[in-house]
């Protein structure tokens, strides 16, 4: 069966079934479902996932999220779970972060992080490439050397939901700029 044949309501039911481990509609009759009754959301399921499948099986089709929104929310949930495995800091800065450069997948900013009482570098995920962000975090956390910028943790802007890697600030600028200046000597 093709997922398009299943419909978004069916996708919500599938998500419920995955979180419950039970077949759907065991206690509901067909007329109950037609009248808008749904299974009881599973206690203990992640709230974001529960809200997503309840929205997807909404009795009013025009109130359901479209497939792009569902995919985006699933990606954000995956990224959120990944980021929870690292030290998290409250998104609190005394001033707006100042853009100081551009990385492979987003901007690099300088800001005073209130939680740490120090100036740090923030590397953002500007593009829809969560895999690149995850890969960058994994590689950065594995390398521990005095000459390499230290990974400190992760923060998230609550307004934009943008994730930031918190890194040690390199006062001399980035590696590329350093090499350009010193390689001609």
* Whether the predicted model's global pTM rises above the 0.85 cut: no
pLDDT of residue 7: 63
**Numbered ranges of CATH 3.30.200.20 in the chain:** 98-180
Please check the confidence at residue 127 and state whether its pLDDT lies above 60: no
Give the per-residue pLDDT at 4.
43
User: Is pLDDT of 140 > 50?
Assistant: yes
Strongest mean pLDDT among 14-18, 75-79, 149-153: 149-153
96 a known binding residue?
no
Task: Indicate whether 119 pLDDT > 50.
Answer: yes
| Residue 64 CB neighbours (<10 A) | 19
Q: Quick one: which of 93, 102, 156 has its CA closest to 127?
A: 102
What's the mean pLDDT in 55-62? 81
How far the first Cα of the chain sits from its last, in Å, is 65
Q: Which CATH architecture has domain 98-180?
A: 2-Layer Sandwich (3.30)
Give residue 3's pLDDT band: very low, low, confident or very high (50, 70, 90). very low
CA-closest candidate to residue 22, choices 37, 6, 47, 43: 43
Instruction: Please give the pLDDT value at position 133.
Output: 74
Q: Is the pLDDT of residue 87 over 60?
A: yes
Residues facing 42 on adjacent strands:
none
**CB-based contact 15:56 (threshold 8 Å):** yes
Six-digit token pair at 120? 């740090």
Taking residues 45-73, report their average pLDDT: 82
């Amino acid at each position: 069966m093709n997922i398009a044949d299943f419909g978004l309501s069916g996708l919500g039911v599938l998500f419920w079934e995955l979180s419950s481990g039970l077949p759907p509609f065991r206690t509901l009759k067909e007329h109950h479902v037609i009248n808008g009754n749904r299974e009881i959301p599973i206690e203990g399921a992640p709230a974001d996932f529960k809200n997503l499948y309840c929205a997807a099986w909404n009795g009013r089709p025009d109130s359901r999220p479209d497939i792009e929104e569902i995919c985006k929310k699933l990606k954000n949930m995956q990224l959120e779970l990944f980021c929870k495995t690292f030290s998290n800091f409250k998104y609190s800065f005394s001033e707006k972060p100042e853009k100081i450069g551009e990385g492979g997948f987003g901007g690099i900013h300088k800001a005073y992080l209130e939680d740490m009482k120090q100036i740090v570098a923030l590397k953002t995920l500007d593009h829809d490439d969560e895999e690149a962000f995850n890969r960058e975090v994994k590689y950065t956390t594995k390398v521990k050397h005095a000459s390499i910028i230290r990974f400190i943790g992760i923060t998230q802007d609550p307004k934009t939901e943008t994730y930031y890697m918190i890194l040690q600030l390199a006062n001399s600028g980035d590696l590329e700029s350093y090499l350009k200046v010193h390689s001609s000597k």
